[in-house]
Structure 1
């Protein structure tokens, strides 16, 4: 296939398990096709994740599909992820349908309800297919979850609905890759196995020649060609969900030799930890996630992140001893920053338990604020500017930095926070979903040592982030980092290209493009 050739079609990437790399490979394939001039869009019928974002129209959707849209060079559209499940407990999730909150449902109720979503999902897919020549679809978990197959709307059920071919992705990094390929295919119905046109082995470390005997045997056993072996790529791209934060996961590893130590408290229902990818990418930042009081130490900055169950997670902080550890760290001079739910937890009081059933709780008391929860969810894209030192009534301190620095981000929250006399606004929002306005957001204490904001994505702003980090460097007696501020958004585009280049090198793209167009893939034995 050459640039300029119009190609129509669709393909779905399914996995042998969760976190095998489906989301990233979909992003890479979108990037490859977009670079060749094709109109391509991602699609995932149902996403379960606490990492979500907001479209330009104010709709909420999974961060993974927003990332994939970025890779394709297009704006995110809620049709790319018509159903989003946001877990609020082990058994219940908030169901977001076409970008808006539908209702909270437990797992059993949702399983029985899924067939009623099929029409809405199909309409979203068909609408996208009329605007884009190619759709790269993503499954969820594994198609071999046979206990859920009868009402499946995201794996083979979706592939059958739109008659899409499937490529199976298997993760060799976790071990047992050939067993996972064989077992997955063996558990599929005959018609489903016929839909699988190829396999990608992902996250390989070592000499691919050592895999050749295994590849030959698995192809002979299954009759499904292996389309390539992707190397393990330490890309700085956003994760779909919290699997990467499990102990030993890739997000758990601090970066050695960095000047600044930033600690993020890993609350049980942590949401939108994609906020911190821009910090991880900074050349002088080592970022780590903290689950136990003994792990906290004395970081240069402590961040309390977003949460899908603010009051429940606040109670967990107390139960685990982390609330005391946070207060002790602050008393010892560690600046504390809260984002969204973390901002709410830093206040004096949290009232009306819409999310958890708790009527009222005392906050950590580090900010003079009161939050009242409401049923309506705020979902907006915003532009703002920081209210920095020098403006009226704005304090000095390590977190009172970035005067007039522009911000852009998004809000996802179900509460309204009011400030008392001992707090000042963090920033002034200038637009919401493209509409001009002037409204203050967030809070900073009078000493400038504690701050909070509802804005997700604020660290993507180069000027603000560098001023914040240089303020932390100054507190350690270090000079500001020389040169222009690190541009995370440009860096992310480079990561997309790096991924696409690796896929072009290690995968049989000709076979994948034939699959996209509904043609036989051909045998593609890796040599």
Structure 2
């Protein structure tokens, strides 16, 4: 059976996903078969496996770092928020139900058998499992029914690394406070502290480590600091809406580049779709919330959303409408695609129920269904909007995640008819598609850059040195592993692993 180690954080966005991915890559380079695991993930960024199962993007990213194919066992429970108080519950890759936060909390221990079944399956296939916690283990109001932090660590008898974000300030208080709120068993499980996102001279922290150790003695804790990870830009997928990628208020469009504005919907999902665009030197990408911000944009994108009807109403309330979008070069992805049509009908209450008039930029209707379409996609583009240059190789790959289907009113299909609703529709300067991950197709992004350059009379210099997207991602995982190896006491971590028991 596999050895195991768990990464928990003093707070959300402390660097758990980042550290798990880095450890997966480090262990892979040491010759181990390693897999990530997160029992319960709350995120609007999801992915579809080759088996058609839905899981969180963070574990997909970590699986890539480990050099393995993602499987739903790595994330048996995915919570996709539909409102401030409720989520769609994805169990083993399929929709289980919609539940309020209080109902889920009352019933979540019933999911433990599914969690252990997934975990044990991974243990049979891999040498090491690196587990990611969620939020903070010091949320004492939730600990009684915990299945993702110390509750899970106890279930699988895992040692724990505690990671803290120093960039937000108060790092020693967050570390000490987290440990002080734990019972003795939980304290004893924490085998090391990792400080993340440090800027400056690490020697200045040494007195703090010594004082932290003295404070730990007062609560019968003996936990060493295993390293300090400096702040460094490494381009890997982010997990949720706390991502710094979405904070682009200070980004300024460049007349010598292709300027892309992504509308930041309240329930934006799968914003990882746009990471391939943001890495291109020929592109400036900005998230926007008002029509005024799109004036200098060469391309507008309406992204996916977990609550299409709500976000469509928000879009209209912010001033986006048929008239100011009609002449823009425009792409809608998934929920954003559905908004481009004539109307959206939710007669089964899949989201909020009722119906809403669409933007009427493409002529089709969307009817939400109780069943969710989840599958990987490999198809061929047959028609292009006028701002995309024709591809020499028109094949594209991606994946679909949606609970609606479109009824076309003689619109032009985007792809061959071998996928749902022709993969979307095109009409002059407007394009909509259900295909997530479409911008991971380098040829497609190249065609967008060429097409917009021609249409808007821009002389955009192509970045001839850029790697294909998969090669680029691999290079980032190696940079991450290098950073982890330089910053942490890997020998101590290996010793913790050796002592771990199933």
User: TM > 0.5 between the two?
Assistant: yes
Q: SS where residue 428 of structure 1 aligns?
A: coil
1:418 matches 2:410: no
After superposition, the C-alpha distances for 1:317-337 in whole angstroms (9 at most, x for unaligned) are: 12222x23xx44434x42010
Which residue of 240, 251, 256 corresponds with 1:254?
A: 251
| Alpha-carbon distance, 1:397 to partner | 1.1
| Alpha-carbon distance, 1:293 to partner | 3.6
Q: SS where residue 94 of structure 1 aligns?
A: strand
| Aligned mates of 1:189, 1:252 — CA distance in 2 | 43
| Alpha-carbon distance, 1:310 to partner | 0.6
| Alpha-carbon distance, 1:232 to partner | 1.0
| Aligned mates of 1:219, 1:199 — CA distance in 2 | 11
1:375 matches 2:364: no
Query: 5+ residue gaps in structure 2?
Result: 217-221
After TM superposition, the structure 1 = structure 2 runs for residues 51-62 of structure 1, keeping only pairs within 5 Å, are 51-62=45-56
Which residue of 425, 436, 460 corresponds with 1:443?
A: 425
| Alpha-carbon distance, 1:401 to partner | 4.0
With the length of structure 1 as denominator, give the TM-score of the two structures: 0.90
1:348 matches 2:335: no
Q: Partner of 1:231 in structure 2?
A: 230
| Aligned mates of 2:456, 2:193 — CA distance in 1 | 51
| Aligned mates of 2:479, 2:431 — CA distance in 1 | 36
CA contact (8 A) 2:159 2:500 kept: no
Q: Partner of 1:311 in structure 2?
A: 309
| Aligned mates of 1:250, 1:209 — CA distance in 2 | 31
After TM superposition, the structure 1 = structure 2 runs for residues 48-197 of structure 1, keeping only pairs within 5 Å, are 48-197=42-191
Select between 462-471 and 210-219 the one with higher mean Cα deviation. 210-219
| Alpha-carbon distance, 1:14 to partner | 0.2
Which residue of 400, 416, 437 corresponds with 1:428?
A: 416
1:361 matches 2:350: no
| Aligned mates of 2:207, 2:402 — CA distance in 1 | 52
CA contact (8 A) 1:387 1:404 kept: no
| Alpha-carbon distance, 1:498 to partner | 0.3
Q: SS where residue 477 of structure 1 aligns?
A: coil
Q: Partner of 1:523 in structure 2?
A: none
After superposition, the C-alpha distances for 1:11-68 in whole angstroms (9 at most, x for unaligned) are: 0000000001100110111011111110100000000000000111110000000100
| Alpha-carbon distance, 1:134 to partner | 0.1
CA contact (8 A) 1:474 1:480 kept: no
| Aligned mates of 2:479, 2:215 — CA distance in 1 | 33
1:405 matches 2:400: no
| Aligned mates of 2:494, 2:425 — CA distance in 1 | 51
CA contact (8 A) 2:76 2:115 kept: yes
Which residue of 453, 468, 490 corresponds with 1:487?
A: 468
Q: SS where residue 353 of structure 2 aligns?
A: coil
Aligned-residue CA RMSD (Å): 2.0
Classify 1:484/1:441 alpha carbon distance in 2 versus 1 (closer, same or farther; 3 Å).
farther
| Aligned mates of 1:86, 1:95 — CA distance in 2 | 7
Select between 210-219 and 105-114 the one with higher mean Cα deviation. 210-219
The alignment of Structure 1 onto Structure 2 pairs a total of residues equal to: 493
| Aligned mates of 1:288, 1:481 — CA distance in 2 | 20
Which residue of 433, 439, 444 corresponds with 1:459?
A: 439
CA contact (8 A) 2:309 2:351 kept: yes
Classify 1:239/1:207 alpha carbon distance in 2 versus 1 (closer, same or farther; 3 Å).
same
Query: 5+ residue gaps in structure 1?
Result: 1-6, 390-395, 433-437, 521-527
After TM superposition, the structure 1 = structure 2 runs for residues 277-288 of structure 1, keeping only pairs within 5 Å, are 277-288=275-286
| Aligned mates of 2:496, 2:183 — CA distance in 1 | 20
Which residue of 255, 262, 265 corresponds with 2:263?
A: 265
| Alpha-carbon distance, 1:295 to partner | 3.1
